[in-house]
Amino acid sequence: MSFKEEIQKRRTFGIISHPDAGKTTLTEKLLLFGGAIQEAGAVKNNKIKKSATSDFMEIERQRGISVATSVLAFIYKDKKINILDTPGHKDFAEDTFRTLTAVDSVIVVVDVAKGVEEQTEKLVEVCRMRNIPMIVFINKLDREGKDAFDLLDELEQKLGLSVTPLSFPIGMGFDFKGIYNIYEKNINLFSGDSKKNIEETIAFDDVNSPQLEKIIGNKAAEELRDNLELVNGVYPDFNKEDYLKGIQQPVFFGSALNNFGVRELLDCFIEIAPSPRSKTAEERTVEANEKTMSGFVFKIHANMDPKHRDRLAFVKIVSGTFERNKPYLHVRQNKNLKFSSPNAFFAEKKEIVDISYPGDIVGLHDTGNFKIGDTLTEGEELHYRGIPSFSPEHFRYINNADPMKAKQLNKGIDQLMDEGVAQLFTLELNGRKVIGTVGALQFEVIQYRLEHEYGAKCSYENFPVFKACWVEPADPKNEEFKEFKRVKQKFLAKDKKGQLVFLADSQFSLQMTQQKYPSVKFHFVSEFD
């Protein structure tokens, strides 16, 4: 198969939603269709022993939430599909934002009963800023929920989307009969008392045919005809170009837990979703079909396999082919590196791959060379940007709870910070270490992982900080900056890269500092260089 054909057959996408909308369940069902797994893990309930295939950190299994992005791949109808299943919980949003730099399109999952929720709004906003094509999947139709038209209105008003339904539910909850697939013009029936079996899909071109009553009953048939008439009158026809530009969003309805409406979503997705797209670096825009390899690290994960202290850097291939044992330039370090065992993923299973194409995600064993945002090329100096470190909102001193394990604790903190789980600040005054996170739940994850992956115990103490601001002086030698450093000494720290950070204890204190030292700039994102 030629290089261009390999690119055309790839689909790399992320699944985003508010927690509990059924995102991980949908991921599993997509894998089932791809034949990648034989049975799905029930993720609905934390107590069930089988956990979702895409949740492979022990703490995820216990809490029933995803805290790290999983990478999963499978083949379906001759298309190579790469799914990035992202955490829905807002405390892990930073991981999700970074992952969105590595996807070519997105599926947004919405709970039929709860509608559009806060976390969905934030994530969709990021996708809209980047013009990422989005498909919406309205989930849990086997439960009582909001009216389909109310949900479509909500998507338009709260998320600012321009939607067009490509399927429509026949009833809902207790009266749920099935789905009319507008895109393929057929009916998919939800059958039996258990509501677990799917009957064959019935091709149905003409909804005005009296045959419809025989299939779904008089009341449901009348309702479906009225609804479809309204859909045709109110919503625009599906336009693939508009979808690819990020200005129109198709909507599907279904129930992931019951495997209902998922095949329709997947079939349409592989047909309309974009193959790998170009990506803008600081120097220029890089097209996927360029012959020379370039890629960037969007995630680092330590200890994916607790038996081996391995650390993997996840690289999204942007252009060219990535080949095993071929030297590539690590742009930041300006040195060539070879990789003897690049991994492709299927949840917990990893396999060594000889060649990877644009759109693929490759896991590289890392001994500490990589940081998030690093670029690999065949020699060209490229810098892919847009993977920021956000200013944390929660801060705590971290203390060693077991003096015998100081070395393990330092190694653990070091590696977890490289993953981007949180940020580490070392106070200038006394050298104490402070951890800053975007969400409070991350402290629990860090404590758990330090103990179970590194054999180290830590305890926390509150540290009252309002904001961490990266400091950029107009001139490091001028008197104003020296005075700032002297006066604010106990609020100054260095981050992991050695950059100076001002830990403001209140909004008022930050404003007063900004007024008093106008030549010093304060940034809320670390990527200001």
Q: Residue 87 CB: number of other CB atoms within 10 A?
A: 27
> Buried b / exposed e across 508-529, counting CB within 10 Å, b at 16+?
ebbeebeeebeebebbeebeee
Tokens of 185: 């013009």
The answer on whether 85 is annotated among ligand-binding residues is: yes
The answer on whether 17 is annotated among ligand-binding residues is: yes
The answer on whether 214 is annotated among ligand-binding residues is: no
DSSP labels for 272-317? Answer: HS--SPPEEBSS-EE-TT-SS-EEEEEEEEE-SSTTTT-EEEEEEE
The answer on whether 506 is annotated among ligand-binding residues is: no
The answer on whether 86 is annotated among ligand-binding residues is: yes
> Strand ranges (DSSP E) for 324-374?
328-330, 335-337, 343-346, 349-352, 355-356, 361-365
Looking at residue 7, its amino acid is I
Contact 3, 73 (CB under 8 A): no
CA-only gyration radius of the chain, Å: 25
SS3 for 132? coil
Q: Which residue has the tokens 């104490």?
A: 432
The answer on whether 21 is annotated among ligand-binding residues is: yes
The answer on whether 140 is annotated among ligand-binding residues is: yes
The answer on whether 230 is annotated among ligand-binding residues is: no
SS3 for 16? strand
Which letter does DSSP use for residue 226 in this model?
A: H
Please give the torsion angle defined by the CA atoms of residues 151, 152, 155 and 158, in that order, rounded to the nearest 10 degrees.
-70
The answer on whether 20 is annotated among ligand-binding residues is: yes
For residue 189, CA distances in Å to 40, 176, 266, 510 come to: 21, 9, 18, 60
Contact 132, 195 (CB under 8 A): no
Q: Which residues are annotated as a binding site?
A: 17-24, 85-89, 139-142
Q: Which residues are annotated as a binding site for GTP?
A: 17-24, 85-89, 139-142
